[in-house]
Structure 1
């Protein structure tokens, strides 16, 4: 099993839960997020509760060369990452023309560019050692076009397909790659996005999602969609005509729009 896990977005939500469950398994941790206070508090909890090493690395993944700075810090601290959990991400919703272009660019930097850049930072070392794993947190939104979440949904489709492609490249070279595609999860995601009306389907708990993800990683699954209620989205929607699926999705997601004045 991997020995040191780097987790992005580790200060809360799924990231903090990944940290807790991996610490319980005996993994040392590198915790990455913007909030130094929250990271230090979590690191202290994990050191005390599980006797693991917990390194804090404060970094905004929307900044230029964020992954390069993380890589330089890993080198300076002589840390080898055996498990990368690309968990950090956020969403936007609404009519595309009304959304901030700057905010959606940041969304792409965090959701798409950072996972790719961080994979470039740590995969060579994993391959050299002949072991390792990458867990990329996507979303059930990855399985179909998502009107009114156009950039968010497309970013998660990228994460899913990127993960599946890397898995095929590395499955015989000692590195596992898993995409996690949950439905709505009870985290701060909906505070950031601005409305719980963005939650389509039953709300899951972070602990349950992470347990499903780690079981899937143990079994070397390609992707996992935690929760029985999400199975139709994962296995039926991709088999329907894309334009039809987009039309159906629009009927489901238009609830995020504000009523006309």
Structure 2
């Protein structure tokens, strides 16, 4: 674990995409998993530019260290803590999250972003690959949520962000079957946690990104794909609003998602 920078500064859900109607405090201290590349690294850069203090975790520590150095050089007034963490190891997550919170002086927002794709069509001899997608995305995110919510319960406040996917809206074919199923499980997980925490100081946001150019979508450029910068800008803006659910980018994925829910399966199959 590496710490550099200066000391940290002191620091009614609604449905759909609308911003919450009540003021909420700035989430100064943010922990992001899967932060070594893609959406995780992009969010780290945006939040750093807004003056936030960060705890960044991933398996590829050399990329984390490079990102930490980049952020501190560009924004010397912030703190950045980095640590290796494999979300497939629930004990490591349970121990690592409170340790990072202690290093950073607390965590106000936890972004459960770590996950994998690269599934295969079911029944084609790649069961182990699909099982890995399901295990990391479901059980790994569950481990993150357990640690984050325990922390938020103890301190009486916080913001849990669960990164799902538009692929969770309906069953997806081919290489996205296991991935979409794993993300659908996260929608239910986040909603259950939200129900538990209604009326407390902790908010829960589920984010459903559409097609964004990241490693996880390599070779699967779908309709309405946006570049990484555009996707990250929309993602961070949505997280800052702290809605119950956000589609990213909002246009066209909110109406597209509504359409996907009602299309007959033969039509859906041709479109996806």
TM over 0.5: yes
Quote the Cα distance in structure 2 between the aligned partners of 1:122 and 1:64: 12
Task: Compare 229-238 and 52-61 and name the one that shifted more.
Answer: 229-238
Bigger Cα displacement from structure 2, 43-52 vs 136-145? 43-52
Q: Deviations over 1:71-94 (max 9, x none)?
A: 364367475222111111121344
For residues 11-47 of structure 1, the C-alpha deviation after alignment (integer angstroms, 9 at most, x for no partner) is 1110001111111222211111111111001011111
Q: 1:72 to 1:100 in 2, by over 3 A?
A: farther
Partner of 1:32: 57
Provide the residue aligned with 2:260 in structure 1.
237
- In structure 2, what is the Cα distance between the partners aligned to 1:126 and 1:186? 32
Name the structure 1 match of 2:14: none
Contact 2:55–2:104 under 8 Å retained in 1: no
Name the structure 1 match of 2:206. 179
How much does 1:69 deviate? 4.0
Return the TM-score normalized by structure 2: 0.81
- More deviation, 126-135/72-81: 72-81
Counterpart for residue 138 of structure 1 = 164
Bigger drift between 40-49 and 69-78 goes to: 69-78
Per-residue displacement from partner, 1:116-171 (whole Å, max 9, x unpaired)? 11111121222332321111111110111112121100111111222233233324
2:82 aligns with 56
- Inter-partner Cα distance in structure 1 for 2:141 and 2:180: 16
Match of 1:258 in 2: none
Partner of 1:45: 70
Mapped partners of 2:146, 2:120: distance in 1: 33
* CA-based RMSD: 2.2
- Residue in 2 aligned with 1:218? 240
Compared CA separation, residues 248 and 70, structure 1 to 2 (3 A) = farther
Aligned to 1:248: 267
More helix by share: 1
Provide the rounded CA distance (Å) in 2 between the counterparts of 1:80 and 1:99: 45
Match of 1:114 among 126, 140, 145: 140
Corresponding residue number in structure 2 for 1:80:
106
How many matched pairs? 244
- Asked if the contact 2:31/2:111 (under 8 Å) is kept, the reply is yes
> What is the distance in 2 between the residues matched to 1:232 and 1:99?
36
Checking the alignment, whether the CA contact within 8 Å between 2:29 and 2:106 is kept in structure 1 is yes
